[in-house]
Structure 1
Amino acid sequence: MTYCVAVKLKAGLVFLSDSRTNAGLDQISTFRKMIVYEKPGDRFMCLLSAGNLSISQSVREILQVEQLPGDEDEAPVTIWNARSMFDAARVLGSAVRHVFERDGDSLKRAGVDFNVSMIFGGQIGNEGMRLFQVYSAGNFIEATPETPFFQIGESKYGKPVLDRVITPDTPLDEAAKCVLVSMDSTLKSNLSVGLPLDMAVYEAGKLQSDRITCIDENNPYFRMVHSTWGQKLREVFDSIEDPVWDGAPTGVPLMGCNTRSLPLKKITNPKEKLI
Structure 2
Amino acid sequence: MTYCVGLRLDKGLVFMSDTRTNAGIDNVSVFRKMYRWVRPGDRVLTLLAAGNLATTQAVVGMLEEHSKAADERAPSILQMPSMFQTAKLIGETLKEVISDSAKNGPESEATFGASFILGGQIKGGATRLFQIYPEGNFIEATADTPFFQIGEHKYGKPILLRAYDPAMSFAEATKLLLLSFDSTLKANLSVGLPLDLQFYEDGSLKAGAEFRIDQNDPYYRAISDGWSDALKAAFASLPDFDRV
Q: TM-score, normalised by structure 2?
A: 0.92
| Aligned pairs (5 A) from 1:1-275 | 1-22=1-22, 24-66=24-66, 77-107=75-105, 109-110=106-107, 113-245=111-243
Secondary structure of 1:45's aligned partner? strand
Cα deviation code 1:112-138 (max 9, x no counterpart):
623101101111113111000001111
Secondary structure of 2:211's aligned partner? strand
CA distance in 1, matches of 2:206, 2:37: 9
CA distance in 2, matches of 1:194, 1:140: 27
Secondary structure of 2:35's aligned partner? strand
Q: CA deviation at 1:210?
A: 3.7
1:66–1:91 contact (8 Å) kept in structure 2 = no
CA distance in 1, matches of 2:188, 2:77: 34
Percent same amino acid among aligned pairs? 47
Secondary structure of 1:209's aligned partner? coil
1:66–1:95 contact (8 Å) kept in structure 2 = no
Q: CA deviation at 1:24?
A: 4.7
> Which deviates further from its counterpart, 30-39 or 161-170?
161-170
Cα deviation code 1:217-270 (max 9, x no counterpart):
111111111111111111111111112216xxxxxxxxxxxxxxxxxxxxxxxx
CA distance in 2, matches of 1:62, 1:23: 24
CA distance in 2, matches of 1:26, 1:54: 19
CA distance in 2, matches of 1:209, 1:240: 45
CA distance in 1, matches of 2:135, 2:210: 30
Give unpaired runs (5+ residues) of structure 1. 68-73, 247-275
1:47–1:120 contact (8 Å) kept in structure 2 = yes
Cα deviation code 1:37-92 (max 9, x no counterpart):
1112211111011110000000001122459xxxxxx9975210222111111111
- Report the RMSD for the aligned CA atoms in angstroms: 1.9
CA distance in 2, matches of 1:43, 1:137: 26
Give unpaired runs (5+ residues) of structure 2. none
Q: Name the larger-Rg structure.
A: 1
Cα deviation code 1:4-27 (max 9, x no counterpart):
111011111010000111165433
- Give the aligned residue type for 2:61: E
Secondary structure of 1:236's aligned partner? helix
CA distance in 2, matches of 1:93, 1:189: 31
How many residues matched?
239
Q: 1:234 to 1:63 in 2, by over 3 A?
A: same
Secondary structure of 2:111's aligned partner? coil
Secondary structure of 1:64's aligned partner? helix
2:98–2:113 contact (8 Å) kept in structure 1 = no
2:201–2:208 contact (8 Å) kept in structure 1 = no
- Give the aligned residue type for 1:182: S
CA distance in 1, matches of 2:132, 2:187: 26
Higher RCO (CA 8 Å, separation ≥ 6 residues): 2
